[in-house]
């Protein structure tokens, strides 16, 4: 089967008989840039130590101004490695008093590096919810995807976070993990994988966490390169298209999220950001022209990669989406 341009639109039009629209902005997701201490194989933002795209202070300040004015429930900060952004700590200090759900997507390995070891206490102080990718509880599989030695660094950071209350019963400090398949296939059931991760991490390393989010690998960025190099692209796209699940459409993240690129460009989601597909159809596409009313009910820009969000149980930054 060949996935032709516009296939997703065709599927959606067939199933929902309308274009895709957002219904709210509940999640304000900032991508601080592509500088990262790691260079993972599945990285859809193609980040690495040489990443030069860093969100300028003027854009960060504009984001803050909007967040102070409009009560958007969740602030979700991603990268790259957010900790490597020069103004990151100051931004968190400004966001914390706003009493929103404050999420940082950290690779955790960075918390073991010199200059970054005070972050666990800093996060706890500001009640930051931590989400981190752990593709597999198998050391070799994780290292194959994220780099040699990364698994043990993540384990070390999780132990430190557990010690200060993260992921512990009766603690408000939340630590979530993200699973994504280590090959060209769809993730297994989130519930069964969460139980497996929990048991194994507890028994082998005495580590606790709150939730596991299963995320489908999107056919973009470095993962797309891997699919093409390994001659898996056609087959992977076919598996996504065949697993198309219309019930996942109700909760795909672009319906209630806005994604802000490092340079202030606005996107329907992080994936569109990586594909340079800004918000379109008449809604503002830059943070400097942010217009809440126009943006909350905008038409979403879709393309073939959207099959990644609607396959099987569906996929978003918070894991499965289909009920
Ligand atoms: S997946 Fe995350 S940790 Fe890995 S290179 Fe990309 S941004 Fe960095
Ligand atoms: S890739 Fe983005 S725009 Fe497409 S369905 Fe997923 S969240 Fe929506």
pLDDT single digits (tens) 68-93: 999 999 999 999 999 999 999 999 99
Q: Which ligand minimizes its atom distance to the CA of 180? A: 1
Q: Is the CB of 271 under 6 A from ligand 2?
A: yes
Q: What percent of the chain has pLDDT over 90?
A: 64
| Radius of gyration over every alpha carbon of the chain, rounded to an integer in angstroms | 19
DSSP assignment of 265-312 = BEESSHHHHHTT----TTS--BGGG--HHHHHTPBPP--GGGHHHHBT
**pLDDT computed for residue 241 by the predictor:** 84
Q: Is the CB of 184 under 6 A from ligand 1?
A: no
Q: Quick one: pLDDT band at residue 7, thresholds 50, 70, 90?
A: low
- In the chain, what are the domains? 15-255+268-310 (3.20.20)
Q: Judge whether residue 200 has pLDDT over 80.
A: yes
Cβ atoms of 279 and 301 within 8 Å: the answer is yes
Q: Is the CB of 158 under 6 A from ligand 2?
A: no
The closest residue, in CA terms, to atom 5 on ligand 2 is 306
Sign for the CA dihedral angle at 154, 155, 158, 160 comes to: negative
pLDDT single digits (tens) 201-242: 999 999 999 999 988 888 888 888 888 898 988 888 888 888
Q: Which ligand minimizes its atom distance to the CA of 44? A: 1
**pLDDT computed for residue 46 by the predictor:** 78
**pLDDT computed for residue 156 by the predictor:** 98
Cβ atoms of 55 and 262 within 8 Å: the answer is yes
What SS3 class is residue 138?
coil
pLDDT single digits (tens) 127-179: 999 999 898 889 998 898 889 999 999 999 999 999 999 999 999 999 999 99
Average pLDDT for 103-119? 97
Cβ atoms of 54 and 47 within 8 Å: the answer is no
The closest residue, in CA terms, to atom 4 on ligand 1 is 40
Average pLDDT score over the chain: 90
């Amino acid at each position: 089967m060949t996935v032709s341009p516009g296939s997703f639109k065709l599927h959606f039009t067939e199933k929902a008989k309308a274009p895709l629209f957002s219904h709210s902005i509940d999640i304000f997701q900032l991508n601080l840039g592509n500088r990262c201490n790691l260079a993972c194989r599945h990285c859809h933002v193609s980040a690495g130590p040489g990443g030069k795209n860093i969100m300028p202070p003027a854009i960060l300040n504009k984001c803050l101004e909007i967040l102070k004015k409009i009560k958007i429930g969740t602030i979700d900060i991603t990268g790259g490695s957010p900790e490597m952004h020069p103004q990151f700590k100051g931004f968190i200090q400004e966001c914390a008093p706003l009493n929103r759900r404050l999420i940082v997507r950290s690779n955790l390995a960075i918390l073991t590096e010199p200059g970054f070891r005070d972050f666990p206490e800093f996060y706890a102080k500001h009640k930051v919810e931590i989400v981190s990718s752990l593709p597999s509880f198998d050391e070799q599989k994780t290292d194959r995807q994220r780099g040699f030695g990364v698994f043990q660094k993540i384990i070390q950071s999780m132990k430190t976070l557990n010690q200060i209350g993260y992921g512990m019963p009766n603690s408000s400090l939340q630590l979530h993990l993200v699973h994504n398949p280590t090959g060209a296939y769809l993730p297994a059931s989130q519930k069964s994988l969460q139980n497996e991760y929990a048991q194994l991490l507890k028994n082998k390393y005495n580590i606790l966490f709150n939730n596991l989010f299963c995320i489908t690998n999107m056919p973009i960025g470095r993962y797309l390169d891997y699919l093409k190099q390994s001659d898996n692209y056609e087959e992977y796209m076919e598996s996504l298209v065949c697993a198309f699940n219309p019930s996942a459409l109700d909760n795909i993240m672009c319906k209630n999220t806005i994604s802000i690129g490092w340079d202030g460009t606005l996107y329907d989601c992080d994936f569109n950001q990586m594909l340079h597909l800004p918000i379109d159809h008449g809604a503002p596409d830059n943070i400097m022209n942010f217009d809440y009313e126009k943006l909350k009910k905008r038409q979403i820009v879709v393309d073939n990669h959207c099959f990644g969000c609607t396959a099987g149980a569906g996929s978003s930054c918070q894991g499965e989406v289909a009920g």
